[in-house]
Amino acid sequence: MAADTSVEILQKVLENEILQTAKVVEEHLDAEMQKLDQMDEDELEHLKQRRLEALKKAQQQKQEWLSKGHGEYREIPSERDFFQEVKESKNVVCHFYRDTTFRCQIMDKHLTVLAKKHVETKFLKLNAEKSPFLCERLRIKVIPTVALIKDGKTQDYIVGFTDLGNTDDFTTETLEWRLGCADIINYSGNLMEPPFQSQKKFGTSFTKLDKKTIRGKKYDSDSDDD
């Protein structure tokens, strides 16, 4: 009986919270409708023009991004191209990969999807074995490593899959969340709630490269197939 009573109380509490939330939303909508009703024709026309200008500006910005190679996940052939690409765009995601590392193919799959979704950011890939100077300069040792670059400066790294649940089966949404944490994309989700199935199991700590502890020119693979 006690258990049944507790369930009933919980149900009533939840129902009350839902009703309160619905009431707040309804009051907000009523206020917006009233505000629109009180506008005269000149005010409505001004509001319409502002929205059209905002849409036009957003479309122009999108076209500018596309002209610079945004909207697709591309491979760049050389280190020289890397510097030019980074110079052109505010936000850049660059995957340093190796052909023989299976986990790089997994990363490719997810980055291909995100490049189309987040046109505001440029998504690139570069063969680590063909870019020794960059890998030395950026202290890249583990493959795959994704460098997150803002305003021409490397702000953060995704090293292996540790930040992505430490599993090969991480979702595109998980990678998207991680990029959002670095403020390298316009993320609309809740950064405080990573899309892991179990936060306790995977944790939320990030792996960053320490310039003092990472040395050498050879690359370690984060994949089990090497």
CA–CA distance, 212 with 14 (Å, rounded to integer): 53
Q: Is residue 42 domain-resident?
A: no
What pTM does this model have?
0.68
Q: Is the Cβ–Cβ distance between 149 and 91 less than 8 Å?
A: yes
Residues 42-56 pLDDT 10s: 777 777 788 888 888
Within a domain: 38: no
Q: What is the pLDDT of residue 28?
A: 77
How far is Cα of residue 194 from the mean position of the Cα atoms in its chain?
11
Longest dimension (CA), the chain: 74
Report the number of distinct structural domains present in the chain: 1
> Is residue 199, in this structure, part of any structural domain at all?
no
Residue 96's domain comprises 64-180
Is 5 a member of any domain? Answer: no
pLDDT tens digits, 178-195: 999 999 999 999 998 888
CATH number at residue 128: 3.40.30.10
pLDDT at 95 > cutoff 60: yes
Decide if 96 contacts 147 (C-beta within 8 A). Answer: yes
Which residues make Cβ contacts (< 8 Å) with residue 196, sequence separation at least 6?
A: 165, 174, 202
Q: Is the pLDDT of residue 102 over 50?
A: yes
Give the SS3 label for residue 185.
coil
